[in-house]
Copies of this chain bind each other. A is one copy, B any other.
Amino acid sequence: MKKTRTRSKPKAAKKAVRKSAKKAASKTTKKRKKAGARAAKKEIPTHATAEDMARRQREISVAEFFTKNRHLLGFDNPRKALLTTIKEAVDNSLDACEEAGILPEVKVVITPCEEQDRFRVTIEDNGPGILKKQIPNIFAKLLYGSKFHRLKMSRGQQGIGISAAGMYGQLTTGKPTCITSKISRNGSAHHYQLEIDTKKNEPRIIVDETVEWPVQRGTKVEIELEAKYQKGRQSVQEYLEQTAIANPHVSLEFVTPDGETNVYKRVSNELPVQTKEIKPHPYGVELGMLIKMLHDTKARTLQSFLHLDFSRISSRVAGAICEQAKVSERSRSSRIARQQADALFKAINRTKIMNPPTDCLSPIGEELLLAGLKKQIDAAFYTAVTRPPAVYRGNPFQIEAGLAYGGSLSADGLAKVLRYANRVPLLYQQSACAIIRSVLTTDWRKYALQQSAGALPTGPLVIMVHMASVWVPFTSESKEAVAHYPEIIKQVRLALQECGRKLAVFIRRRRKAVESERKKAYIQRYIPHVAIALREMLELSERQEKTIVTQLTDLLERSRS
């Protein structure tokens, strides 16, 4: 052991040691420190000085950070890596199609490679395409995108996902990400092969060419990665199925590594309502953010700053805020001192301001929720509800819930919960999610279901919950669970209770019908005996007996239905 270590030190280092050791003996304190520093540089264990430590300080690129911490992005293991890669690409495709007003058609192909545990994943859409010059940054630079800086409902929000998927592919197979994109029918397509330079978090272009691609427009992404393909829970298949439920306007095609093709056809030709971008709501802005906004604003006066850079502040309200803060409405925004900003901040929070506008949200809607559930789940009863919008930390959000009950659903075991955030199914980290917390703390026994304390209800039940928001607060970069904001938990519970009441009516009515049927059958069994008894007592003919049977049966039929 020792021998190996000694050998593995470069010769130069050894020399330096001898040299510095010789020198150090005859030098002053100051010089000795220098020698020590030099020794430390060469990795000879010694105590470090402030200078030594300073020498080691370096910037860490965000790509290096996430390479080392790739489990934070959902690339913990090969199976999850496959799902995350496809999810990020499909989410981007759907966002782009919807923004461009195109009914999305997305094709996902997983092809096995020669090497074991390696797959080539291709995701192709009919979206608007991507401008040539933007392709490298979008696909090979972490923290780059159009969605982070705005308050608008979309699937993507961080500018990490697809570049991270490419980076994972590169890390595990050494292969670049391939992108082909076309923005108009007449032009030709651009083809790029990109790597990410993790040291700089910058794209490295391997191939850049113009190609013929016989489609109108669209984007195709290909990533080769180490992965594991499995069906069942938390699989690519499950993700696509659940996507189809919450996105009835989407057509999906999926070719498995075995060559099997699954098609999920759209059930609605209507695109979701186009959402609007909103300004931040004053109640959700913190002091430091307010100072930053004052510094960055283009508005000249304080009043116009308040009015233009926030939602729901009219000129009148802006005036009232300034008055309360004892700052002139006409002050230059960029010249507001910290103490004035503090006064403004307090004044804002003491002023009554309307809730944020809600046309930034595009819920699925009860009708399409039902259509989606009916398409994928074979049940006897369906219900859905869309709650009115609410607000957490200044961000508007809206909760929808749906239930499917009975039919071919398994009556044993716990209910199944489908969680969605901005129409994207969440498959991992269920127990960490605010949605599950709400399901667990709802008293399902009130709604004619069975439930043990602290557990999911049991029975043939699927519970679906969707959160739509301009900013979904996820518990990690991999976007798998919603953080526990009390307002969110409350809205989910209210939605579930509303659905639950409807379900209870159905279950109780069905029980009553069964009960009634049982009683009817019971009475029916005695009618012939009653007739025989009457015939004997009243000495009736056989024909009269038959008439009595018919009449009594009629009466029973009438009275019990």
Interface check A537, CB cutoff 8 A: no
Segment touching B, from A304-312, A379-387, A553-561: A304-312
Interface residue ranges of A27-45 to B (CB < 8 Å) = 43, 45
In the complex, A351 has a CB within 8 A of chain B: no
Whether A314 pairs with B137 at a CB distance below 8 angstroms is: no
CA distance A217 to B131 in the complex (A): 56
Known A50-B128, A130-B53, A476-B72; judge A59-B143 contact (CB<8 A).
Answer: yes
Q: Is A432 an interface residue (CB 8 A)?
A: yes
Query: Within 8 Å CB of A99, what residues of B?
Result: 47-48, 53
Check A288–B145 contact: CB distance below 8 A.
no
Shortest distance from the beta carbon of A34 to any chain B beta carbon, whole Å: 13
- Decide: A100 and B58 in contact? CB cutoff 8 A: no
Residue among A50, A129, A477 with max Cβ neighbours from chain B (10 Å): A50
Q: Is A51 an interface residue (CB 8 A)?
A: yes
In angstroms, Cα B144 to Cα A311, docked, is: 36
Interface residues as binary, A200-224 with B (CB distance below 8 Å gives 1, 0 otherwise): 0000000000000000010000000
CB distance from A194 to the nearest CB of B (A): 14
When the two chains form their complex, are residues B172 and A292 in contact, meaning their CB atoms are under 8 A apart?
no
Interface residues on A, range: 35 or more
Contact of A8 among B62, B308, B474 (CB under 8 A): B308
Given contacts A101-B47, A131-B50, A308-B8, contact A59 B144 (CB under 8 A): yes
Q: Are B53's CB and A338's CB within 8 A?
A: no
- Interface stretch (choices A146-154, A327-335, A455-463, A543-551): A146-154
A342 on interface, CB distance cutoff 8 Å? yes
Within residues 462 to 515 of chain A, which ones have a CB less than 8 A from any CB in chain B? 471, 473-477, 483
Bound-state CA distance A172–B148 (Å) is: 21
B131 near A58 with CB under 8 A, answer no
Q: Are B314 and A7 in contact (CB under 8 A)?
A: yes
**A475 and B71: CB pair below 8 A?**
yes
- B8 contacts A311, C-beta separation under 8 Å: yes
Residues B287 and A174 in contact, CB atoms below 8 Å apart: yes
Residues of B within 8 A of A100 (CB): 47-50, 53
Contact with B along A296-317 (1 / 0, CB 8 A): 1000000000011001101100
Task: Flag if A47 contacts B149 (CB, 8 Å).
Answer: no
Q: Is the CB of A146 within 8 A of B287?
A: no
A274–chain B nearest beta-carbon distance, Å: 5
> Inside 8 A of A401's CB, which chain B residues have their CB?
none
Hey, which chain B residues are within 8 Å of A62, CB to CB?
Answer: 62, 143
Tell me whether A276 is interfacial, beta carbon within 8 Å: yes
Query: Taking CB as reference atom, which chain B residue is nearest A172?
Result: B286
| Residue A173, interface by CB 8 Å | yes
Q: Which of B61, B145, B276, B431 contacts A143 (CB 8 A)?
A: B61
Query: Distance in Å from the Cβ of A501 to the closest Cβ of chain B?
Result: 31
**Chain B residue with the shortest CB-CB distance to A138:** B57
* Chain B residues near A146 (CB-CB < 8 A): 53, 56-58
> A170 interface residue, CB < 8 Å from B?
yes
A65 and B171 in contact (CB under 8 A), knowing A145-B60, A307-B8? no
Contacts of A473 in B (CB 8 A): 71
User: Are A4 and B71 in contact, CB atoms less than 8 angstroms apart?
Assistant: no
Query: Looking across the interface, which residue of chain B has its beta carbon closest to that of A9?
Result: B308
Complex: A133 Cα to B28 Cα, angstroms: 25
A513-544 CB mask vs B (1 if < 8 Å, else 0) is: 00000000000000000000000000000000
Residues of B within 8 A of A50 (CB): 100, 128-131, 183, 217
Return the chain B residue nearest A429 by Cβ.
B432
CB pair A54 B130 closer than 8 Å: yes
In the complex, what distance in Å separates the CA atom of A59 from the CA atom of B146? 8
Chain B residues near A61: list those with CB within 8 A.
143
The smallest C-beta distance from A7 to any residue of chain B, in angstroms, reads 7
Closest to A56 in B: B146
A378 within 8 A of B: no
Closest to A477 in B: B72
Contact A48 to B128, CB < 8 A, known contacts A144-B58, A287-B173: yes
Chain A residues at the B interface, C-beta cutoff of 8 Å: 1, 4-5, 7-8, 10, 43, 45, 47-51, 53-54, 56-62, 64-65, 67-69, 71-72, 76, 96, 99-101, 128-131, 133-134, 137-138, 141, 143-146, 148-150, 158-159, 170-174, 183, 198-199, 217, 274, 276-277, 279, 286-289, 291-292, 296, 307-308, 311-312, 314-315, 338, 341-342, 354, 357, 431-432, 471, 473-477, 483
Sampled A-B contacts (30; CB under 8 Å): A4-B314, A7-B315, A8-B308, A10-B308, A43-B277, A47-B99, A47-B100, A47-B101, A50-B100, A50-B128, A50-B129, A50-B130, A53-B131, A53-B146, A54-B131, A54-B134, A56-B146, A57-B137, A58-B144, A60-B144, A62-B143, A65-B148, A68-B148, A71-B475, A72-B476, A173-B287, A173-B288, A174-B287, A199-B296, A475-B476
* Top 5 closest pairs, chain A to chain B, by CB: A47-B101, A171-B288, A56-B146, A54-B131, A60-B143
With A8-B314, A174-B288 already in contact, 19 other A-B pairs whose C-beta atoms are closer than 8 Å: A43-B276, A45-B276, A47-B99, A47-B274, A48-B101, A48-B128, A50-B131, A51-B131, A53-B130, A54-B130, A54-B131, A57-B144, A60-B143, A60-B149, A68-B471, A76-B483, A171-B287, A171-B288, A174-B291
